[in-house]
Amino acid sequence: MQILFYHPDFDSARWVHSLEQAMPGTTVRIWQPGDNAPADFALVWHPPREMLAGRHNLKAVIALGAGVDSVLNQLKQDPDFIPAHVPLYRLEDAGMGKQMQEFAVSQVLRWFRRFDDYQALQREGRWEPLEEYQSSDFTIGILGAGVLSKRVAESLLPWGFPLRTWSRQPKDWPGVSSFAGNESLDAFLAETRVLINLLPHTPQTEGMINQALLARLPQGAFLLNLGRGAHVVEDDLLAAVESGQILRATLDVVRQEPLPANNPLWRHPRVTITPHIAASTRLDDAVIYLAKLINALKQGAIPPGQVDKERGY
């Protein structure tokens, strides 16, 4: 079996070694310009057109992350970027779920216990116990109901917060209220104190977190964006923070990455920026996941993680 590998930032040689160890009898080669030799699978991140176009014998293209935005954007510009019959897969949860859980729980508890408020008081030299939030009033709403959203919800359940999710189709998750479809969005937002975004990036979700949506949350709500930067209209968010409609926001993803140094999000005292580190692709976990995925595809199965190229996830 022949596998092509391309990632502009990873230690590719280390990945090749680990993949070949996990799949005996497999040859993994780092793609270089001019490499047109046959391959069965392509493992990619931001791949050049030359790598994939015309490879009609590929059994699958597999993105080395949970997001496939770059591949789908290239497909919109160039429908022949990947042959139409070649399926596209993503890593649904190759260790990313646990990382997302860590990030979400730590941030929610930071807000719930008012640590940011106490830090502000410390800067002023003020010893002032604040009114406690009640977990029963600290409803957490998750936009999106994919694999990572489910893992985040599971990690928050033990803390006693009311949990709800909103998605295209209803979900049946223990302890989590399900809201589905546009007609239920107002009801979902009306009591959501902490909004966690884990939506896929599609034409329908582009700019969805805007002035109109933020205004439907309770005043003084919190926003945690773990999805995509393109979901948030940043000027609308800044205005909502300034007005107090959004008390605090944490953004792990932004529309332009890296975030330019002159962007006002950096300097707002009630906005926290992290550089897209909520969940990274870690070699050991990813190799185990990829070996199982490729083995299933070789056996003719359709494993989880296949991307609907039209729908965008």
Dist. CA 211–CA 10, nearest whole Å: 38
Mean pLDDT, the chain, integer: 97
The answer to whether 231 is a known catalytic residue is no
pLDDT of residue 190: 98
Q: What is the pLDDT of residues 125-157, one digit of tens each?
A: 999 999 999 999 999 999 999 999 999 999 999
Q: What is the mean pLDDT of residues 45-61?
A: 96
Dist. CA 177–CA 162, nearest whole Å: 8
The answer to whether 228 is a known catalytic residue is yes
pLDDT of residue 305: 95
Three-state SS for 169? coil
Q: What is the pLDDT of residues 264-297, one digit of tens each?
A: 999 999 999 999 999 999 999 999 999 999 999 9
Query: In the structure, what pLDDT confidence band is assigned to residue 21 with cuts at 50, 70 and 90?
Result: very high
Q: What is the mean pLDDT of residues 29-51?
A: 97
β-sheet with 246-251: strand ranges across? 176-180, 163-167, 140-143, 194-197, 221-225, 246-251, 271-273
What length is written for the chain? 313
Give the rounded percent of residues in the chain with a pLDDT score beyond 70. Answer: 100
What is the b/e burial string over 131-151, where b = at least 16 CB atoms within 10 angstroms of the residue's CB?
Answer: eeeeeeebbbbbbbbbbbbbb
Dist. CA 64–CA 95, nearest whole Å: 12
The model's pTM is 0.95
pLDDT of residue 204: 93
> Cβ atoms within 10 A of the Cβ of 114, count?
16
pLDDT of residue 62: 98
Q: What is the pLDDT of residues 60-73, one digit of tens each?
A: 999 999 989 889 99
Q: What is the pLDDT of residues 192-222, one digit of tens each?
A: 999 999 999 999 999 999 999 999 999 999 9
Statement: 2-94+281-299 belongs to CATH 3.40.50.720: yes
Dist. CA 69–CA 202, nearest whole Å: 9
Do the beta carbons of residue 44 and residue 61 sit within 8 Å?
A: yes
pLDDT of residue 284: 97
In the chain, what is the greatest distance between 2 CA atoms, to the nearest angstrom?
69
210 token code pair: 């805007």
Do the beta carbons of residue 30 and residue 24 sit within 8 Å?
A: no
pLDDT of residue 299: 95
Do the beta carbons of residue 214 and residue 246 sit within 8 Å?
A: yes
Does this chain's domain 2-94+281-299 share its CATH topology with 96-273? yes
CATH C-level class of 96-273: alpha beta
Domain boundaries of the chain, sorted by first residue: 2-94+281-299, 96-273
Dist. CA 182–CA 198, nearest whole Å: 16
Q: Catalytic one among 7, 90, 228, 248?
A: 228
Q: What is the pLDDT of residues 66-123, one digit of tens each?
A: 989 889 999 999 999 999 999 999 999 999 999 999 999 999 999 999 999 999 999 9
Q: Which residues contact 210 (CB under 8 A, 6 or more apart)?
A: 232, 233, 236
